[in-house]
Amino acid sequence: MKNTVKNKKNLLMFLSPALVAAVILSGMPVNAASEIDQGQTQASITFTGGELKLNSVPVIDFGTHDISNELKEYAAESVTPVIQVGDLRGNGNGWDLVVTLSPFTLSDAGGPTLQAAAIKIANPVVSAVNGTIGAPPVAVTDVEITSDSTDTPVWKAAGGEGMGVWNLTWKADDTKLVVKPGTARQGTSTATLNWSLQSTP
Looking at residue 201, its pLDDT comes to 75
**Spatial contact of 117 and 193, defined as CB atoms under 8 Å apart:** no
Q: Please say whether the beta carbons of 137 and 162 come within 8 A.
A: yes
Q: Say what the pLDDT of residue 33 is.
A: 62
In a domain, 82, yes or no: yes
Domain that holds residue 111: 52-199
Q: Above 80 in pLDDT, residue 13?
A: no
Q: Does residue 101 lie within any of the structural domains?
A: yes
Q: Which helix H or strand E contains 14, and what residues bound it?
A: helix 2-25
Give the sign of the dihedral formed by CA 135, CA 136, CA 137, CA 138. negative
pLDDT of residue 113: 97
Residue 26: which pLDDT band, with cuts at 50, 70 and 90?
low
Q: Give the chain's domain count.
A: 1
Round to whole Å and give the CA distance between 185 and 117: 13
The answer to whether residue 44 is domain-embedded is no
Instruction: Say what the pLDDT of residue 47 is.
Output: 97
Position 33 in a domain: no
**pLDDT for the residue numbered 192:** 98
What pLDDT is stored for residue 11 in this prediction?
A: 43
Is there a domain that residue 129 lies in?
yes
75 found inside a domain: yes
> Can you name the residues that pair with 153 across neighbouring β-strands?
98
Task: Place 22 in a pLDDT band, splitting at 50, 70 and 90.
Answer: very low
- State the Cα–Cα distance between residues 146 and 16, nearest whole angstrom: 106
| Residue 6: inside a domain | no
Structural domain contains residue 58: yes
What's residue 20's pLDDT? 44
By three-state DSSP, how is residue 193 classified?
A: strand
